[in-house]
Amino acid sequence: MTEQTPHTANDAVSSAAPRPLVVAVAGNPNVGKSTLINAIAGTRLQVGNWPGVTVEKKEALFEHNGRKIRLVDLPGTYSLSPYTQEEIIARDYLVKLRPDLIVNVVDATNLERNLYLTVQLMELGIPVVMALNIYDEAEAKGYRFNLHGIETMLGVGVVPTSATRRSGLTELLDKVLETAAQPADHAPRILNYGDDVETAVALLGDTLRREHPALFALYPERWLLLRLMEGDERLRQEINLAQDALPEEIFHHLRRGHGEDLEALMADARYSQAAGLAREVLFKKEERRVEMTERIDRVVLNRFLGIPIFLAAMWLVFKLTFDLSKPFGDWINDMAGGPFKHWTTVLLGLVGAPDWTVSLATEGVISGVGFVLVFVPVIFMMMFFITFLEGSGYMARAAFVMDRAMHAMGLHGKSFIPLLLGFGCNVPGIYATRTLENPRDKVLTALLIPLMSCGARLPVYVLFVGAFFPNNPGTVIWSLYVLGIALAIVMGVFFKRTLFRGEAPMFIMELPPYRMPSFTSLCLHTWEKGKHFLIKAGTYILAVSIFVWFLLNLPWGVEHKKDSYLGQAGQVMAPVLSPLGFGTWQAASSLITGVIAKEIVVGTMGEIYAPKKGEQKKPEASFGEDLQEIAVSFGKAVKESASNVVSTFGVSSLAADEKEDRGPLKATIQQTFTPLSAYAFMVFVLLYMPCVVVAIAMRQEFGSWKWFGVAFAYQSALAWGMAMIVYQGGQLLGWGV
Amino acid sequence: MHLAMMKPGQQGKIVHIGTAVGPIKRRLMDMGVLAGEPVRVEKVAPLGDPIEVTIKGYNLSLRKKEAEGIEVEVTP
Ligand SMILES: Nc1nc2c(ncn2[C@@H]2O[C@H](COP(=O)(O)OP(=O)(O)OP(=O)(O)O)[C@@H](O)[C@H]2O)c(=O)[nH]1
Ligand SMILES: [Mg+2]
């Protein structure tokens, strides 16, 4: 996927199957490149209505009319300048790996600014086909296009498309194949950037051809000359050209006529081509309509309402997430603990398996995975809402509203997005820091992400809140999220003053129009995000559950779990935790396993506190009855979930009474914790080190363990300190009962 | 007069991108913030920064600090 050699010309050696046609999909951010590829190739690339969703290049292979085509989704860029990571990825790909063809996705509602990139793509000398996307919205606005005009003026094929409605796709692919069949006839026009520029380019070309002819084999000629002329430092260093290797008189002449800044000169030249073209081919009515986006923004970004609305939106997301998903979580829990365990025991008994395998299967595998699966509904619900916020365009507003606050912590409004994603799972949050342009922002944001309470910590809260704060579970959980955020602010300011002194980053961002994401695409992308959690629960947490079972049951034949390996480790660590109110070996052991992934804390507790088998045997039920029971209780869960929505909005409290018992685990922890120490424990789980996957993600992003080390150190200190303050402080205030 | 001084609803024309330099200036130019371009201030964020403007028919948000580097003249 990351070949170093160009895949044109000479790698068509493997004769039998023809080499797939390599088509790069390039365009401005948020114009629907990923949506288009998903629609064409049936892939599930991530999509969202804010600039910067795709941050690395992704590929999709498919066939059209018998021809294999490889589509490469490039990150969206406004330009091919070498300043942001996305721009560098896109331009390195286009210049060095030279795709056979470029599909330039253009936002039809925003033609001029999009053409500015088109003009730059044309400099590469690669055939271009333009997908005039979001055509539906442009038509709705009353825009008309002279498509033939664009084709003749630019020398590129144009096809109107609407990726979300899947229209124009076949035509686009036909045009791609047609163009690729005769690449020589479809070279984009060479646009004239004005006499002064063109003279300078010609002169520069003569010099380079004389002195560095090899360069022209490596780079597209016009692109190379134009970039060198405008003073592209990255390119100059890449080709090892000394600053004074370029003839000074060329620049001298240009500077006299156009001022010092040749970059500005070129931006102007390219934009005037774009503007001229847009004037020629686009007809719009000159009235200024108040559009839906503007009406919504008047409220959502209002001086006084903006912040309350933002907070209320976040609150609603959490509230709905928990209320909607809880009955389903309970249902899964009942199923795993009841019929499932029961039938496994029966089946294993039938084949005459030894007792310890029954224990491993029920206590290790089913309990472990079951405890985690219980939280699948919560995670999916949360992902659903995050996907909705992304898809609707509110994310970008959130960045706009929050930028001032983020800025105070030395961050960028856009950092808000990775931080917010961190609430789902810290790992995608860490990867999303790539949307930040400046390395400093990236590291600082990534350091704070683990303070965002991820979905994996929820199981722990849900369990403890259910046991100790049944009357106001939402508020208690909310307080933990707020604590995480508050500490992120404190740590942000702290880091800004210590490790990250210096220049604060820029904030220049497009606010896209609001769009209603379609329900199918919402579900699809929710599934894609939630899948990671499922896979984790299915494989690696399964493995860990088994491992923990062994730790708990070794040395072979231990009588008490306390004497098992895990129990011994827990005993060593327990004294460190006693000032925090939970200095028991059980709590310590659970926390140790939580390092692998925080949701495992609950699984381990289940293991440790699990009742001896046999205690919970139900009266024998037939398989048929159990199946019926499963179906009936699922129906109840659906009803309960629906009535919870109603009560969320305060219409009335139809919610069914809380089922009095969610298993023996709750009862046991009620005996070993007090509400105060339970809260301290939750605070500790919120803050103590990021999980192993986050560690790996950080290492990948920053190329060393250094920043993970920093995160590990400060979080351990913070977790211990905060839990101590909560517990000791609470006791002083007399809450320790 | 610079862009950060304009009030929401006011329209103007960019005269010069002054103090902004390097990547910031380049980014602004790439996004269509060029001398001669009409610009309209739409909103100021609830916390007072950043601001939102319309330029080349789309909505752009930028901080006041960056906006201060953009010289404008107000058009009625
Ligand atoms: N109305 C309409 N909306 C579209 C169309 N194509 C894409 N969208 C929406 O535009 C938004 C951006 O889509 P993406 O596919 O994420 O855009 P992208 O170009 O990959 O964006 P980056 O990865 O940020 O560069 C999403 O909200 C899409 O639903 C279209 O043809 N019509
Ligand atoms: Mg994308």
pLDDT single digits (tens) B17-76:
876 567 788 889 999 999 899 999 999 999 988 999 999 989 999 999 889 889 999 987
Final residue of a structural domain among A138, A163, A186: A186
Do A314 and A252 belong together in one domain?
no
pTM: 0.79
Q: Is residue A270 part of a domain?
A: no
Query: pLDDT at position A503, please?
Result: 66
Query: pLDDT at position A548, please?
Result: 73
The complex's ipTM works out to: 0.95
Q: Is residue B71 part of a domain?
A: no
User: What is the SS3 string spanning A422-439?
Assistant: HHHCHHHHHHHHHHCCCH
Query: pLDDT at position A410, please?
Result: 81
Is residue A428 scored above 80 in pLDDT? no
Query: pLDDT at position A217, please?
Result: 86
Q: Is residue B34 part of a domain?
A: yes
Instruction: Work out the minimum CA distance from A205 to partner chain B, whole angstroms.
Output: 25
Query: pLDDT at position A540, please?
Result: 65
Do A46 and A103 belong together in one domain?
yes
Give the DSSP letter of residue A167: B
Q: What is the pLDDT of residues A385-400, one digit of tens each?
A: 878 888 898 888 988 9
Among the residue ranges A150-154, A259-263, A715-719, the one predicted with the least confidence is: A259-263
Is residue A14 scored above 70 in pLDDT? no
CATH number for the domain including A128? Answer: 3.40.50.300
Query: pLDDT at position A631, please?
Result: 77
Do A250 and A368 belong together in one domain?
no
CATH number for the domain including B30? Answer: 2.30.30.90
- Can you tell me the distance from the alpha carbon of A211 to that of A618, in angstroms, rounded to the nearest whole number? 88
Do A154 and A29 belong together in one domain?
yes
Q: Is residue A719 part of a domain?
A: no
Q: Is residue B11 part of a domain?
A: yes
Which H helix or E strand runs over B15?
strand B11-17
Do A166 and A201 belong together in one domain?
no
Q: What is the pLDDT of residues A629-676, one digit of tens each?
A: 777 777 777 777 777 766 655 433 333 333 334 467 777 878 888 888
Give DSSP secondary structure letters for A608-648.
HHPPPTTTTPPPP--HHHHHHHHHHHHHHHHHHHHHHHHHH
Query: pLDDT at position A661, please?
Result: 40
Query: Which of A723, A697, A719 is CA-nearest to residue A708?
Result: A697
Among the residue ranges A279-283, A522-526, B69-73, the one predicted with the least confidence is: A522-526
CA of A77 to the centre of ligand 2 (A): 11
Query: pLDDT at position A615, please?
Result: 42
Do A247 and A344 belong together in one domain?
no
Q: Is residue A212 part of a domain?
A: yes
Q: Choose, out of A111, A506, A515, the residue to mutate when testing the contact with B (most B CBs < 10 Å).
A: A506
Is residue A578 scored above 90 in pLDDT? no
Do A232 and A315 belong together in one domain?
no
**What value does the mean pLDDT take over residues A294-302?**
90
Is residue A321 scored above 70 in pLDDT? yes
Q: How confident is the model at residue A613 (pLDDT cuts 50, 70, 90)?
A: very low
Q: Which residue has the higher pLDDT, A22 or A574?
A: A22
Do A175 and A211 belong together in one domain?
no
* Chain B contact present for A285, CB below 8 A: no
Q: How confident is the model at residue A72 (pLDDT cuts 50, 70, 90)?
A: very high
Among the residue ranges A127-141, A438-452, A614-628, the one predicted with the least confidence is: A614-628
Q: How confident is the prediction for chain A on average, in pLDDT? A: 81
- Structure tokens that stand for A396 in this block: 């970008």
Q: Which residue has the higher pLDDT, A571 or A128?
A: A128
Residue A172 main-chain phi, psi, to 5 deg: -60, -45
Query: pLDDT at position A658, please?
Result: 36
Pairing state between β A128-133 and A101-107: parallel
User: What is the SS3 string spanning A525-572?
Assistant: HHHHHHHHHHHHHHHHHHHHHHHHHHHHHCCCCCCCHHHCHHHHHHHH
Question: How many structural domains is chain B composed of?
Answer: 1
Query: pLDDT at position A614, please?
Result: 40
**What value does the mean pLDDT take over residues A542-561?**
73
Final residue of a structural domain among A169, A186, A203: A186
Question: How many structural domains is chain A composed of?
Answer: 3
Is residue A545 scored above 80 in pLDDT? no
Query: pLDDT at position B41, please?
Result: 95
Q: Is residue A452 part of a domain?
A: yes
Residue type, A681: F
Query: pLDDT at position A648, please?
Result: 54
Q: Is residue A431 part of a domain?
A: yes
**What value does the mean pLDDT take over residues A556-577?**
79
**HSE-CB of A512 using CA atoms within 13 angstroms:** 25
Q: In this complex, do B66 and A506 lie within 8 Å of one another by their Cβ atoms? A: yes
Q: Is residue A265 part of a domain?
A: no
Q: What is the pLDDT of residues A165-207, one digit of tens each?
A: 999 999 999 999 999 998 888 888 999 998 889 988 998 999 8
- Structure tokens that stand for A569 in this block: 């480790």
- Can you tell me the distance from the alpha carbon of A169 to that of A162, in angstroms, rounded to the nearest whole number? 8
CA of A34 to the centre of ligand 1 (A): 7
Is residue A460 scored above 80 in pLDDT? yes
Residue percentage of chain A with pLDDT more than 90 = 26
Do A346 and A464 belong together in one domain?
yes
Q: Quote the domain boundaries for residue A33.
A: 21-186
Q: Which residues pair with B45 in a beta bridge?
A: none
Is residue A254 scored above 70 in pLDDT? yes
Q: In this complex, do A510 and B17 lie within 8 Å of one another by their Cβ atoms? A: no
Ligand 1: residue of A31, A34, A35 to mutate (most ligand atoms within 8 A of CB) is A35
Query: pLDDT at position A161, please?
Result: 97
Measured from the Cβ of residue A172, the count of other Cβ atoms closer than 10 Å reads 25
Q: Quote the domain boundaries for residue B59.
A: 3-64
* Chain B contact present for A405, CB below 8 A: yes
Do A233 and A349 belong together in one domain?
no
Q: In this complex, do B26 and A263 lie within 8 Å of one another by their Cβ atoms? A: yes
Query: pLDDT at position A375, please?
Result: 65
Query: pLDDT at position A620, please?
Result: 55
Query: pLDDT at position A649, please?
Result: 52
Final residue of a structural domain among A186, A206, A237: A186
Do A432 and A474 belong together in one domain?
yes
Do A130 and A227 belong together in one domain?
no
Q: What is the pLDDT of residues A329-338, one digit of tens each?
A: 778 777 777 7
- Can you tell me the distance from the alpha carbon of A622 to that of A343, in angstroms, rounded to the nearest whole number? 10
- Can you tell me the distance from the alpha carbon of A455 to that of A321, in angstroms, rounded to the nearest whole number? 11
Please tell me if the CB atom of residue A33 comes closer than 6 angstroms to any atom of ligand 1. Answer: yes
